[in-house]
A and B are shown apart, each in its own frame.
Chain A
Amino acid sequence: MNIKITHNWLLDYLDTDATPVEIQKYLSLCGPSIERIEEVNGETVYDIEITSNRIDTASVLGIAREAAAILPQFKKKAILKKKVISPPKEPEKSIEISIVDEEGVCRRLLGVVMEIKDVTHSPEYISKRLLATDMRSLNNVVDVTNYVMTEMGHPTHVFDYDRIGTKKLILRHAKKGEELITLDEKKYSLDETDIVIDDGTGRVIDLPGIMGTANSVVTNDTKRILFFIESNDPVSIRRTSMRYGIRTMASTINEKNPDSELAYKALLRGIELFSEVADAVVVSPIIDIYPKKQKSICITTTKSFIDRKIGVEIPITTIVSILTNLDFIVVSKDDELTITVPSHRVSDVTIPEDIVEEVARVYGYFAIPSVLQQPAYVTQPRDTELTFQYQYIVKSFLKHKGYTEVMNYSGISLELLKQFEQKEESFLQITNSISEEIKYLRISLIPSLVKNVKQNEGFAKEMKLFEIAKTYIPTKSLPIEENRLTIATTHSLDELKAILIGLMKELNVSYELKQGSDNQLLLQSIAGEVMIGTKSIGSFGQVKPAYCRNGGLDRNVYVADISFMDLISAARIMPDYKSFSQYAHISRDLTIPKKTAFSEIKALAFKTSGTLLSLSLIGSYKDTITIRLEFTDVTRNIQESEVKIEVEKIKNAIL
């Protein structure tokens, strides 16, 4: 979250000679980041990022406190002006008011009733400061609540006392479906986990810590007010405010656990301001329900621990002064430090490492040297190493062959899944998906690539794409995350096979192509498997045209879909070395009727002849194919007559 405060407002709490630019620079380095300085109607305004653990800095007071600790490190004068406001005197005649929290939903409840002169404009300095910090200026009464929140850092609320007919406020959990109209006139139907304030008749008069309701807010006719501050359960505030999308500054602060001790100080400051701007007179005692008082925390650590974590020696006097300036109480004895944490820091500072942070940041991260740690040897699993090593090799190869790498979302839409006749139950689903487009985690990359082909129609004549990504195969436990390499081309089956074979050559993989595949996304007549030994590492072929047409794509798409891990397990940086034959090579062409798959012809030929070196396809015509057989003997010159016999043997084996 970000807050805005003005420089002049900060000076109410800080005596300093630092300029706004210096304050921005030094606080950003050691404390809250001041992202911008703006000039608004003559006011210098700081826009400050507040991290979720430092809600104590989300106020003028909080920033002043940080500045008082940080600026002296840069030789700047900075003294926190501590204001002590004494509680008002008990009124002689007290007015009726009762606040009840039987369920214990709040940590602290504070309330006081005041009579006011009238509801009018705020003094100029208040409305000017509110406007400069992006808040509205409504009237003198409501403005005080916002003013106190920005100045002190605790949200506050004000009711029209006379609109609470029963003079009772009962905090309780809402009933399922109970209705509420917020002060901005929006209607909400509540849940049992929400917390509301009931006036004792069942009427809801507030959504505490988040927003007031229309039926109890201050109007122009208000004469008596109930100034009310509660310290809420942060988890419940966040849940309710997120559920209804009511993101007020109050809820943003309340969900981050503001200090319940601070709530009382905010109450006193509010009373002071009401009397200043509305001539308010306190007419009730201060109600303070505080069953579980904030306990103070004490941390014991050592100077050597702090030095060891930071990596540089910091003098003990520096450590003590830094912590003391931040309101910690420090007792040091030799190396040991006993540190009492101030109430506004107890939710954040709980362990010695938190003390390290306080010392190091104010000391200045910039003042710590940069040193590389000693190297260490850590074993990397072999398959992990190979995966990364080969991913880049494979991707580069495909790029050089004219293929474009795509990265798609890991999830696909129901529509795409239907296009490929897939069943919903085969997929892991996102239950709170931000978009229907990415709801089903992919079990194959093929649909995404076909979609890519379709969406890019018109941008290129031929589409040549690939993706390496995980698929998520559901199991009873975590899914199997398997890296797949999927290549797609609109060009031709031949083009696809050339790439596939080229890749196998690049990786020095001995493979065979097998006719037929059980990949259901492929046309069964144009499908095959890539075999390494007897194991299939993936399939290739033409995507069923019906699936393409379902997606409005009237083109043939050829894909190869390979298990990346299986592929690289077979890959070699260096091919298996076999010395070349010094002796004669004799080639013979053979034309035969084509009855079986080429891969089978090849397998049979090699099985039959021991001197066969290579077998390649010369051409095919009608039902015949012509192959070229090359023979050699690595020990001597092979004879023509021997080759003739070998060719005959092969011919007989094939036919």
Chain B
Amino acid sequence: MDIAALKKILISELLNASVSSIEGLEISYLGRNGKINELLKNIKSLSLEEKKTAGKDINAFKIFASEEIKKTKSSLYEKKEQEMQVDVTLPPSLDEPGSLHPITIAVNEITGIFNKIGFIRMSYPEVDWEYYAFEVLNMPVTHAARDDFETTFLSGQPDKKKGKMVLTPHTSNGQVREMERLHSKPPIRMINIGKCYRPNWDATHTPMFHQFEGLCVDKNITIAHLKGTLDYFVKSYFGENTEVRLRPHHFQFTEPSFEVDITCTMCKGTAIVKDKKCKICKSGWLELGGTGMVHPNVLKAGGIDPSLYSGWAFGFGIERVNMMKYGIDDIRNYYSGDIRFLKLF
């Protein structure tokens, strides 16, 4: 068959080609045993001069065929692809997702922030002696925080020297324990995160809650350092534009003692949200928690000479910072085990 006829056939075949036939068509022309190779085989018998011309023609046809087939092929595929209609917004089939507890998320975030400035995370007993929970924190037996209404006592045998067994009402029992661990040799840079227990159970209190406690003891630690650290934490955790202020307060184990406020996360410290008074803050500020300079009696109890060393400490509630940052306001849900709440995270 001559090339011209073959070309005609190819053109008509291409017109009728479909996605399913095009592959076969391509092979029938361009394959090892295809029509073009067939033509090449046939020129063996020709003279050299004839071979030259025929070869040229066949080659031109080969280029033509391969280009036309390619063109038809891509236009066929394109057409097919355009015909496909998929609703990409349909939900896929998924495994039921799990969740982390909101406390876990906050603990991870807080640990990371303090790690960056060289604070190591420690963990101290939740069940401890009155000695570590009160005595060494400058809270004598008569102190109000030690009575039945404020502290959770346990049935374990009391220790002759260290008193009764209690569920720690704060993470501050870790202060003197950390001093003891380091053989009373500062520097101390600790962040202690743990469960705490107080006998309160109402809309805003649960008998178990979490605190994170910072403790820094070294030579020449000042109020300015405490402010610097709080500033760093608050800006890292709540955002660059958050401001901190200290107000006078009182705690037995710090002197001076402060209450820490930050500018309200809701109204950004303006006390006004959409022309109305902000619902969650007191005049633009939110209370974060308590802090202060470590009381010399606490340093002494930990075997550290307060004339050589000084320090700061703070204890903040994790449930509280979650409320302030993420607006998770019903604290009772935290430990209720209700998956309708837990699945939200």
Contact = CB atoms under 8 A, between A and B. Distances in A.
Interface of A: 28-33, 35-36, 51-54, 235, 238-239, 242, 255, 308-312, 351, 353-354, 356-357, 360-361, 365-366, 368-380, 384-385, 387-388, 391-392, 395-396, 398-410, 428-435, 438, 441, 448, 451-452, 455-456, 459-460, 462-465, 470, 472, 474, 476-479, 481
A378 B181 CA distance: 11
B187 interface: yes
A451 B338 CA distance: 11
A356 B188 CA distance: 23
Interface in B173-223: 182, 187-190, 195, 197, 199-201, 207-208, 216, 218, 220-223
B201 A365 contact: no
Contacts of A472: 126-127
B104 A392 contact: yes
Contact of A403 (B98, B182, B216, B223): B98
B229 interface: yes
B342 A405 contact: yes
Contacts of A438: 207-208
A451 B310 CA distance: 48
A31 B127 contact: no
Given A311-B224, A479-B127, A433 B338 contact: no
A478 B129 contact: yes
B259 A371 contact: no
A290 B129 CA distance: 39
Contacts of A470: 126, 195
16 contacts: A36-B282, A235-B142, A309-B293, A309-B310, A310-B224, A311-B225, A365-B248, A368-B223, A370-B230, A372-B228, A372-B229, A378-B187, A385-B120, A410-B208, A435-B207, A476-B157
Contacts of B244: 370
A29 B342 CA distance: 39
A410 B197 contact: yes
B8 interface: no
B91 interface: no
A387 B95 CA distance: 29
Interface stretch (B10-18, B45-53, B250-258): B250-258
Interface in B71-130: 95-101, 103-104, 108, 111, 117-118, 120-123, 125-129
A377 B339 contact: no
B118 A375 contact: yes
Contacts of B342: 404-406
Contact of B98 (A366, A391, A404, A430): A404
A463 B157 CA distance: 40
A33 B231 CA distance: 21
Contacts of A455: 337-338
Given A309-B223, A438-B207, A478-B129, A377 B118 contact: yes
B337 A408 contact: yes
Given A378-B182, A378-B189, A388 B222 contact: no
Contact of A310 (B101, B121, B223): B223
Contact of B97 (A52, A238, A370, A402): A402
Contacts of B182: 378
Contact of B99 (A53, A356, A399, A462): A399
A481 B101 contact: no
A432 B118 contact: no
Contacts of B104: 391-392, 395, 405
A369 B101 contact: no
Interface residue range, chain B: 35 or more
Given A402-B95, A410-B208, A432-B148, 14 more contacts: A356-B293, A357-B257, A369-B224, A369-B227, A370-B231, A373-B225, A373-B229, A380-B121, A405-B342, A406-B337, A430-B153, A456-B339, A478-B127, A481-B126
B101 A357 contact: no
A375 B230 CA distance: 15
A388 B121 contact: yes
A372 B153 contact: no
A407 B247 contact: no
Contacts of B98: 398-405, 464
Contacts of B149: 242
Contacts of A441: 127, 154
A-B pairs, 7 with minimum CB distance = A311-B222, A311-B224, A357-B256, A376-B187, A51-B250, A365-B246, A380-B120
Contacts of B127: 428, 441, 472, 478-479, 481
Contact of A479 (B147, B156, B188): B156
B35 interface: no
B7 interface: no
B238 interface: no
B33 interface: no
Contact of B122 (A54, A384, A433): A384
Contacts of A403: 98
Contacts of B148: 432
Contact of A378 (B118, B200, B208, B256): B118
A387 B220 CA distance: 33
Interface string B121-149: 11101111100000000000010100111
B340 interface: yes
Contacts of B208: 409-410, 438
A428 B159 CA distance: 15
B100 A477 contact: no
Contacts of B201: 434-435
Interface string B326-345: 00000000110111101100
B165 interface: yes
A308 B220 contact: yes
A370 B228 contact: yes
B100 A460 contact: no
A433 B149 CA distance: 10
B232 A372 contact: yes
Contacts of B282: 35-36
B167 interface: yes
A99 B341 CA distance: 63
Contacts of B129: 478
B322 interface: no
A235 B144 CA distance: 8
B249 interface: yes
B152 A378 contact: no
A459 B338 CA distance: 9
A438 B195 CA distance: 14
Contact of A432 (B153, B225, B247): B153
Interface in B147-171: 147-149, 152-157, 159, 165, 167
Contacts of B99: 399, 404-405
Interface centre among B153, B155, B249, by most chain A C-beta atoms within 10 angstroms, is: B155
A391 to B, nearest CB: 8
Contacts of B188: 378
A433 B344 CA distance: 31
A402 B155 contact: no
A430 B167 contact: yes
Contacts of B147: 238-239, 242
A555 B334 CA distance: 25
A333 to B, nearest CB: 21
A9 to B, nearest CB: 23
Interface string B273-305: 000000000100000000001011000000000
Contacts of B62: none
Given A235-B142, A434-B199, A477-B159, A311 B223 contact: yes
A485 B257 CA distance: 39
Interface centre among A399, A459, A462 (most CB of B within 10 A): A399
A442 to B, nearest CB: 11
B248 A361 contact: yes
Nearest to B295: A353
Contact of A368 (B220, B227, B250, B259): B227
Contact of A238 (B126, B144, B153, B154): B144
Given A431-B155, A432-B199, A476-B157, A312 B224 contact: yes
